[in-house]
Amino acid sequence: MATATQKERAGNGVNQKEQLSVCVLDDEAAMTELMREHVERLGYGCVATTEPEEALEQVRCGRCRVVLSDVRMPGMNGLEFLEKALEADPGVHVILVTGHYSLEAAIEAIKRGAYDYLTKPVERVRLKKTLDELAALYHQRRRIRELEEQLLRDLEQHGIVGKSPATLEMFDLARKIAKHYTNVLLTGPTGSGKELVAKAIHQMSPVTQQRFAVCNCSAMVDTLLESQLFGHVRGAFTGATDMRPGIFEYANGGTVFLDEVGETSLPMQAKLLRVIQNREIQRVGSPEVRQVEVRLIAATNRDLRAEVLTGRFREDLYYRLSTLQIRVPGLAERLEDIPLLVQYFLKKYNQAYSKNIHGLTRRAQTVLLQHGWPGNVRELENVISGASITAVNEFIDVDDLPEQLQKPLPRPAGSSEPWRPAPLKQIRREHIQKVLETCQGNRVRAAQVLGIGRTSLYRYLKREGKGKAAPPME
């Protein structure tokens, strides 16, 4: 038959390993022992002390996530301890306990950061409810951290580095799309990492064991591109000394990635359309029709809808390619990812160049964050690669960066005051606010102007306390 203590532990719904570690602080030794017994009977680990400094050390070391502290103590009262504990660990939860309850004191304690304000003698039911709430909260936070860490590992596994909302939203969409064997169109500026996203989609798809083939459509003329895609037979053209299959045959059953598909000519677009519609190809110089089954992922830095309107891109091919679309954001839209990308590239080039560079100086970090990054992630990688070669110290400084990044940061137009870098959060907040004002509060339009997904904008506004999570009616 289970004891009351065992039942309470089972009712907590929290694994022992996930239980909170509680510290009881009171200037009366008898009271600390009594409270410690109460806490342990509820199934939580507990230490008791009459010394505020000892309790603070427990907080600093992370051994205790919750402190039950008396209010009236000599030397350091409960409110003073609360302030010092939050300085030591902003994530700690302090519950103040008093024998002289007043509403004004309780309100003041909560304002200063106390999680709860209890009256002696502490009711067992009230204490259990409070600790169980905290246990559930920490469990939830731990689970969120684990999911975030797993997501970041998944991202890095596929060569995608970053944890900005734009990056996470893009990768989440890619992961959902990967399950379905259908065509995908990737849009975004040159150098933003569209090929990495295409590889990630393939690796997360049901055909991950099959081949992944890449063709840059802008790198060759039509005749060579046709041979590259569909193959050729011997004698099909000058230099065709043997038979060679093309990318579509090579990757049959897998994925073909067509980079810069917007650069293809109209005749080549017609041939691509035939592959998509009929699942068949013809080698150059051969009348034989061959069946192929591939997943087609196309990428472009052009606005293909605009290209359709001007007649430079086939409308029927556009709709065939864009069954599902993913926009890969440029680096300027996800500046939060720069520190992670820098560390990723440093690790890569430390190994390549036998260097031991630990990071960047604050000056160099400021320069990187203020740069416009027209070349996106590819440009950043080149910057870190070059700086890794030239740097002689453990940290890359401004002098190690390319000349175009070393120029003094410009002053705002019409300002006589020297320009000073502002926090990224402030810059982002001011920019989004200006865009919203320009769009007269229309969030759908604002998201389009900002070049981000509506969901990302709604999440940001919710965090800032300026909107709801659900999209409003525009």
What fold is seen in the domain 4-140? Rossmann fold (3.40.50)
How, if at all, do strands 295-300 and 184-187 pair?
parallel
Domain boundaries 160-329, CATH class: alpha beta
**Is domain 332-406 annotated with CATH 1.10.8.60?**
yes
- Tell me which H or E stretch contains 360: strand 359-360
What pLDDT, on the 0 to 100 scale, is given for residue 216?
92
Cβ within 8 Å of residue 257, ≥6 positions away? 195, 198, 199, 202, 212, 213, 214, 215, 297, 298, 299
What pLDDT, on the 0 to 100 scale, is given for residue 239?
72
Architecture in CATH for domain 424-463: Orthogonal Bundle (1.10)
Domain assignments of the chain as residue spans, ordered by start: 4-140, 160-329, 332-406, 424-463
Which portions of the chain are predicted below pLDDT 70?
Answer: 1-19, 144-145, 147-152, 155-157, 407-427, 438-440, 444-445, 448-451, 453-455, 465-474
Cβ within 8 Å of residue 279, ≥6 positions away? 291, 292, 293
- What pTM does this model have? 0.58
pLDDT tens digit sequence for 96-122 = 988 877 778 788 888 888 888 888 888
Q: Report in angstroms the alpha-carbon separations of 201 from 26, 44, 84, 118, 329.
A: 57, 45, 49, 53, 16
What pLDDT, on the 0 to 100 scale, is given for residue 89?
84
Same fold, 4-140 and 160-329: yes
pLDDT tens digit sequence for 244-263 = 889 999 999 999 999 999 99
Q: Report in angstroms the alpha-carbon separations of 286 from 2, 240, 242, 245.
A: 81, 13, 13, 11
What pLDDT, on the 0 to 100 scale, is given for residue 412?
45
What pLDDT, on the 0 to 100 scale, is given for residue 351?
93
Whose tokens are 């992944």? That residue is 212
What pLDDT, on the 0 to 100 scale, is given for residue 467?
53
What pLDDT, on the 0 to 100 scale, is given for residue 110?
84
For 80, phi then psi, to 5°, come to -65, -40
